[in-house]
Amino acid sequence: MDRRRFSTIAHAQHEFAAPIASVRARELLRVAGVCPGARVLDIGAGFGGWAALAVEMGAEVVAFEPNPEFVERGRAFGSTVKWMNCNYDADLVASGIFDTVLLIGASHALGGLEAGLPEIDRMLKSGGRALIGDGYWQRDPDAAYLDVLGATPEEMPTLTALCESVPRIAYLTTSTTAEWDHYEGLYRNTMLAWLADNAADVDAEEFRAYSDRWFEAYWRYGRDTLGFAWLVVEAS
């Protein structure tokens, strides 16, 4: 299945590709140092919801995103974000020039969170901060849930283990069940609307089966298994 196409379609109505309410997203950026004149780097920027909000708050933003459809959507916001339509490349980013680095659901872009922390620190100015959003297990995941996710138990830590692996945490919160329900519900309903309008599409049958399976896995297992943490981390 073309997972990138599925994700692009299913996220078409989301403001952010993460379970967070708009008012909390703004507060997280504020705590992470986003303000008028701040320089912000968004790694794995998706379709640009965070980048657009940072610009609205007065920041200058550079955004890395390899999915061209997401970049096209981000550019359609009409903001001043400087888009880099590629995977993150350290050679393209100078040291110590950003007030804030955003790494939201994109730790894989740096080879994993622990491996990526030194690179985040390299990019930050003295006194800068990073906003990190990453998944964790609320409890041991069921085998059936792992099968749907295509994941292993080792791919995510507990919240305690996640926090122990990240130094200099200045702020911590987690996504609420209501935020998760909205995120997954919108993901489901956007795909259903697309399927209703595109029944003859070559991917329609496979996308419907996958959407059914994914949403059932969410209400059966995910609501009390998968968590999402938000950490604001200070530069060293």
Question: Per residue in 172-201, pLDDT tens?
Answer: 999 999 999 999 999 999 999 999 999 999
CB 7 within 8 A of CB 188: no
Domain boundaries, position 165: 20-175+227-234
What pLDDT sits at residue 78? 66
What pLDDT sits at residue 76? 85
What pLDDT sits at residue 79? 73
Mean pLDDT of the chain: 96
Which among 88, 125, 93 is positioned nearest to 108, based on CA atoms?
88
Question: H or E element: which one contains 63?
Answer: strand 60-64
Q: Is residue 102 part of a domain?
A: yes
Task: Assign residue 54 the CATH number of its domain.
Answer: 3.40.50.150
CA–CA dist 62, 73 (Å, integer): 15
Which among 89, 105, 232 is positioned nearest to 170, based on CA atoms?
232
Phi and psi, residue 223, nearest 5°: -60, -30
Distance of CA 202 to the CA centre of its chain: 28
Q: Is residue 9 part of a domain?
A: no
Q: Is residue 87 part of a domain?
A: yes
Q: Which amino acid is at 104?
A: I
Which among 234, 222, 232 is positioned nearest to 19, based on CA atoms?
222
Low-confidence ranges of the chain (pLDDT < 50): none
Q: How many domains does the chain have?
A: 1
Q: Is residue 27 part of a domain?
A: yes
Exposure on the CB side of residue 113, measured as CA atoms within 13 A = 25
Question: H or E element: which one contains 99?
Answer: strand 98-104
Task: Tell me the pTM.
Answer: 0.94
Helices 204-220, 3-10: crossing angle, 10 deg rounding: 70
Q: Identify the DSSP state of 175.
A: -
Q: Is residue 221 part of a domain?
A: no
Q: Is residue 111 part of a domain?
A: yes
Q: Is residue 3 part of a domain?
A: no
What pLDDT sits at residue 102? 98
- Whether the CA torsion 120, 13, 22, 174 is positive or negative: it is negative
Q: Is residue 182 part of a domain?
A: no
